[in-house]
Amino acid sequence: MFISTFTVKAATELKERLEKELEKSLKASHDEELKHHLAQQIAELPTSDIGTMDAFTQRLVSKYGYLVGLSPTFRILQNASEQYLIKNDCFEQVFERFYEEQGSDRLFSRLVKNFTGKGKSLTGFKDQVYALVDFLQSTADPLIWLKESFLKGYQDLDYDEALDQLAQVVKEQLFELESFFTFHLANEGQAFSGAKYQENVTAIQDLIASLNEKPSQEAIFEVLERVVLISRASGGRSLTITTRKEDLKELATAFNDERKERIEALRAAASQHYQLTYQIRFKDEPLPLLVLLRDFVQAFSTAYLERKKQEMPLNLVTSAILPSRF
C-alpha cells in the first residue's frame, strides 16, 4: 500500500499510531505465525510508503528517472521566480520560431492578436498558453488530450441539435414564468394593483401567450429576446415591486427574489443563444487558429520540459510525469 499525507508531521503521526496498534495486536496474539508477521511489519514500518506526495515523487524519480532521461542528480525547483524565468525564456524561443515560420501568412499574428487586442504586450496570449499547460497536467495524457480532445467540442458540436435543445429549455422556462406571473397577479399581486411593474408583467404574459400553438424555434428565441429586453428596462427594475408599506414588504421581497431567479435563468439562456448563433455564423474561421494554438501549446510544453531536464531543476509536478506526459 502507498499512503499519502499532506504534511511530514501527519506522516510521522500516522506511523506512530500504526506502530502502537501493531504492538497491541502483537501482545494480544497467541498465534506464533501471526506474531512473527506483526513483528516483521513493525520492523519495516520506518521504511514504509507513508509520506507526502512530494517525498514519494522524489523517490520515484531518483530510482526510475533514467527511463525518461533524467539525471539522478536532479534538484527540486522550489523557487517560483526561477521557474517563471525558465518558462518565459522557453516561451520567447518558441514564439520567435512560430512567428518566423509564418512568413507572409500571418496566421500566427492573428492568433496572438485574438488574446492581446491592439496592445503590444504578449501578456494575454502568454497567460492563455500557461493556463492551458497547467490544465494539461490534470489530464491522463496531455499529448493525447491535445490531439484527440482539444478541438473535439468545436468540431463535433451539432449546432442544430444544440439550438433545438436550448429552444425547448427556453420554452419551458417561459411558460413557467407565465404561470408564476399569473398566480402572482391573481393572489398577492392584488395588494399591488395598479403598480407600474404589473404593466410589464402583463406585457410579458402576452408575449409568452403567443407561443401556445406549436411555436417555431425562431419564435421562441424572439420572445426570449423581447422578455429579456423588458426585464432590463428602467435600469433592470421594470419587474421589481417597490413599497413603503411594512405589511407588504415581505410579499414584495418574496416576489422579487423568485422573479429575479427566473429572469436570470432566461438571461443566461439568451446569452447562450447569442454565443451559439455567433459560432454558427463564424464557425469555419477560428478552426485554423485553434489548430495553431494547439500546436503552439504542444511545442512550448515540450520545450519547457526539455529545458528543465537539461538544467536539472524539476518542480514536483513535473518530476512525477511518465514518458508520455509533458
- In the structure grid, which three cell numbers stand for residue 141, read together? 495524457
The predicted-structure confidence for 36-74, as pLDDT tens digits, reads as follows: 999 999 999 888 888 888 788 778 877 887 786 766 666
Q: What is the pLDDT of residue 261?
A: 97
Which one-letter DSSP state was computed for residue 46?
Answer: G
224 pLDDT higher than 70:
yes
Spatial distance between the Cα atoms of 161 and 280, rounded to a whole number of angstroms: 12
Residue 207 has pLDDT above 70, yes or no: yes
Average pLDDT rounded to a whole number, residues 83-111:
85
Say if residue 240's pLDDT is above 90: yes
**What distance separates the 2 farthest-apart alpha carbons in the chain?**
91
Cell numbers describing residue 294: 494547439
Cα torsion 215, 218, 222, 224 to 10°: value is 70
Question: Residues 76, 315: contact at Cβ < 8 Å?
Answer: yes
Q: Sorting pLDDT into bands at 50, 70 and 90, what band is 322?
A: very low
Backbone angles phi, psi at 193, to 5 degrees: -55, 130
Residue 7 confidence (pLDDT): 85
More confident residue, 113 or 270: 270
List pLDDT tens digits, range 278-303: 888 877 788 888 999 999 999 999 99
**Does residue 238 carry a pLDDT above 50?**
yes
Query: Which of 257, 255, 201, 271 lies closest to 230 in space, CA to CA?
Result: 201
Helix (H, G, I), strand (E, B) or coil at 4: strand
- The pLDDT value recorded for residue 76 is 65
Q: Give the whole-angstrom CA distance, residue 266 versus residue 169.
A: 10
For the CA atoms of 220, 221, 222, 227, what is the dihedral angle to 10 degrees?
90
User: Which range, of 38-42, 76-80, 95-99, 122-126, averages the lowest pLDDT?
Assistant: 76-80
Q: Are 133 and 300 in contact (CB under 8 A)?
A: yes
Per the model's pLDDT, the better-predicted residue between 64 and 237 turns out to be: 237
Q: What is the mean pLDDT of the chain?
A: 87
Task: Name, in order, each residue with C-beta under 8 angstroms of 319's C-beta and a sequence gap of 6 or more.
Answer: 57, 58, 60, 61, 70, 74, 76
| Segment 216-222 mean pLDDT | 96
Query: What pTM was estimated for this model as a whole?
Result: 0.55
pLDDT of 82 > 80? The answer is no
**Cβ atoms of residues 300 and 59 within 8 Å:** no
> How does DSSP assign 187-228, residue by residue?
TGGGGGTT-HHHHHHHHHHHHHHTTSS---HHHHHHHHHHHH
Non-local CB neighbours of 211 within 8 Å, separated by 6+ positions: 171, 174, 175, 219, 220, 223
